[in-house]
Chain A
Amino acid sequence: MNSLVEYLWLIPTLPLLAAGLSALMKRPSRAASASLAIGSMVLAFFLSCAAFVKTLADPAARFTHNFDWFVLGETTFRLGWVLDPLTAAMLVMITFVGALIFIFSVGYMAHDDNFTRFFCFLSLFAAAMLGLVIANNLLLLFMCWELVGLASYLLIGFWYHKPSAAAAAKKAFITTRIGDVFFFLGILWLSAETGTLLFYDGGNGCLEQSALAKLVVQSTWIGMGVSTAIALLIFCGAIGKSGQVPLHVWLPDAMEGPTPVSALIHAATMVAAGVFLVARVYPLMEAVPAPNSQFSILNSQSALVSPLPQEREKAATPAEVSKPVDPAPAKTEGGADAETNRTVKAATNVLPLPGGEGRGEGERNAHGSTALQAVTWIGAITALFAALIAVAQTDIKRILAYSTVSQLGFMFIGLGTGGVAVGIFHLLTHAFFKALLFLGSGSVIHGCHEEQDIRRMGGLRKLMPVTFATYAIGMLALAGFPLLFSGFWSKDEILHAAWLWQPSKWPFLMGLTGAFLTAFYMTRQMWYVFFGTHRSAGVPARSDHQTPAASEEHHDHASSHVSAGGDAHTPHESPPVMTVPLGILAACAIFLSIFGTPVWPWFHSYLSGHAVHFTPSIELGTALVMFVSAVIALGGIWLGWTFYSRRGPKTAEEADPLETIQPSAFGWLRGKFYIDELYENSVIAWNAACARASRWLDDVVWDGVVRTVSLIALAISWVNRLIDEFIVNLGFDKGCGGFRSGARLLSLWQNGQVQRYLRVIGLALVLLGVIFIWGCK
């Protein structure tokens, strides 16, 4: 059975191959590139299903496959794959939703010139995302994380000739990069502290007891535990990627990309990567340093929805909270080999999930770790904040984008208060119905000839029946319509977990308000798009779109994307290649709910690895929260419906009824609380000021220094030349002249007159004789 995990790498490699081959294809080979991408996705889906079935057989097991990447001195860098229920569930979701979105794209992008490039990017994205999910190494995860960011950048800026799309792509890339810097710092710190970045490595991974035990007892200089600090740094990456406050600004702008991209990346998968990351490093997130330096590792899988209060209090006693699993017996022979002999290239381990025996007893710290509290608060703030903004938006995709931000906030509340299963269940259900909604909006946009402003839609339910039906299902799932739709169950679990959260009830209340607003704004959107009268018929031409009321919205249209035939003003239903994926996703949005009801919490059991119990009776608290959330959802839908069906605008230019009631508050919401403007005037202005100051510094100070130095050098060399020319050379020349004239004088002695020589000799002889004679006297 271990052979499967060794071939887990095939799942991301298939789309990667498809991407590489599409990149080599010529532009006209549309069918080939599309079928390659879809085929690789479908194959990956089947492989993922195989992996899923394998984990179904034994949900408690975690399969890892580690191998040496490279050796640097004494250090060996090791990568690996991990297969556990979390991975398997994500794999199936990504490949399934991805394949459907690929199929949808064939229809949506049918008229785009760069069809092959689009599928190349989509496949690249899928490969990176799948790699991220199977990674058993934080560094490998980070690499895929960045690749996902790159693919996102490429796809948001796919219509790069639109300035708004190019700007949105840059914004998305840079904003997420801010979080990634902190994420990377966390990775480095974790690597420095534990010496490994493998998650699970037969007891030596950074998420296992020995490493965490080392981390929680240390503390940083501000008194925070090292584990908490690292967890918070890693969470910063998740904030950036998952569009949480304060780094949420890129996600709504990312809607400039083609709609399938919005569906795949910015609703279903990529933004969920942050949630997945937190779920993956959950053992680190929930590691709590005990006051007396004893560590206690909380059990991620045991944090279930329905622990009775007395059980939880019992669990808070130290004896039960810290149940470290002895790693030694957990190792199989392969794992032991890998530890004793580093030259073994690969080792496949089968490990039981940590804390296996304590599972399901509700052992959970009543207060949660600092990191999880941060996760909860960020999630709660985002959930409410984004839901508020979504109420006032008029762009069909922007509403969904803010809704995504809000739902991601819900997921973080779920992770922070309820554990992995709660957050991830909402992630999965949300992926299906949000992909459905985005594809539905894509169908609407396609049918309305690239119209994105909901004020210019209306009455589409008769013109686009299939889209309407599927969109309604998605909307009801997102709004949390009771009992029938998956969104209700997953959101209800989050609210229930938040209700039971000890530190504060505020996240529960904020989540509740967010849920109410979600129901309201989705109803508003439904009414605007599908009900009432069609409002764009009165608008004569597209050039008229830039009305003052709508001027703040983006109305750039892809010039290359020419609408397919037909009357330019009559919306039409989309072709089957687009509606069939919608239908499949709609079915999933409904039927996924059966896996996570409180009566039969199969999904939680699967993720946490213990047997599922069918409990026909529901506890009072659960039922109460369920009732409240149902009332809230129904209330939101009812309010939105009555409000808009009675007072909804009849023409595109008419103001929103909410705007007429509360113009200033509505303006704030429509302006997205002016966060963009705030950043523009604070961070970006500050950054620009810094850049200007740097430029001034460079121009005036450093350049001045350089210029002064060069002037000094010039002056010195000028003086040098003077000295050389007029002092050194002058003396030398004079000396030379003297020598020459002296030599000329001396040369007169030798005039070739032999007799004169002789005369001199004679005289000298006489002189010598005289001296001699005179000396002898």
Chain B
Amino acid sequence: MTPLHYYLLLSALLFSIGLAGALTRRNAILVLIGIELMLNAANLNFIAFWRFSPNPEALHGVMFVIFAIAVAAAEAAVGLALTIAIYRHYRTTNLDQVDSMKG
């Protein structure tokens, strides 16, 4: 069986790619994709830790991840809806220009 740290490394890679995408992309949709990547990295971690836990028979990890995916789906829907709303309002999805919530 593949050792745990491979999973963890993959997960960290995924998270880093997601974070880099979320921080560097100017397009709101790409930022959303980055966030989704980070979420999946976290889910991968959950699964990995569950699989290597003392009693993998209990389905805690799978249940947790399914919930997280469900929430992530809802979050993606809300995020896309927000993006569309922002686009309708500002006629752009460039996040640098959407800065009206500042002091």
Q: Which residues of A contact B (CB under 8 A)?
A: 746-755, 758-759, 762
Contacts and interface: CB of A to CB of B under 8 A. Distances in A.
Nearest to B96: A753
A120 to B, nearest CB: 92
Contacts of A758: 22-23
Nearest to A747: B103
A754 B100 CA distance: 10
Nearest to A744: B103
17 contacts: A746-B103, A747-B102, A750-B101, A750-B103, A751-B102, A752-B99, A752-B100, A753-B95, A753-B96, A753-B99, A753-B102, A754-B31, A754-B98, A755-B31, A755-B96, A759-B23, A762-B19
A746 B96 CA distance: 20
A747 B99 CA distance: 13
Chain B residues touching A, range: 10 to 19
Contacts of A746: 103
Interface string B32-51: 00000000000000000000
The 4 nearest A-B residue pairs measured at CB: A752-B99, A747-B103, A752-B102, A750-B103
A755 B102 contact: no
B65 to A, nearest CB: 21
B54 to A, nearest CB: 22
Contacts of B98: 752, 754
A755 B102 CA distance: 13
Nearest to B35: A758
Interface of B: 19, 22-24, 31, 95-96, 98-103
A513 to B, nearest CB: 118
A752 B22 CA distance: 16
A463 B31 CA distance: 143
Contacts of A747: 102-103
A749 B100 CA distance: 13
Contacts of B100: 752
A755 B103 contact: no
B23 A752 contact: no
A753 B31 CA distance: 13
A755 B31 CA distance: 9
A754 B86 CA distance: 13
B22 A755 contact: yes
Of the candidates A749, A751, A758, A762, the one having the most CB atoms from chain B within 10 angstroms of its own CB is: A758
Contact of B103 (A749, A754, A762): A749
A748 B99 CA distance: 12
A752 B101 contact: yes
Contacts of A762: 19, 23
A749 B101 CA distance: 11
Of the candidates B23, B24, B31, the one having the most CB atoms from chain A within 10 angstroms of its own CB is: B23
A752 B100 CA distance: 6
A744 to B, nearest CB: 8
B19 A750 contact: no
A232 B35 CA distance: 120
Nearest to B103: A747
Contacts of A752: 98-102
Contacts of A751: 99, 102-103
A748 B95 contact: no
Contact of A750 (B23, B31, B102): B102
Given A755-B31, A755-B96, 16 more contacts: A747-B102, A747-B103, A748-B103, A750-B101, A751-B103, A752-B102, A753-B95, A753-B96, A753-B99, A753-B102, A754-B31, A754-B98, A755-B24, A755-B95, A758-B23, A762-B19
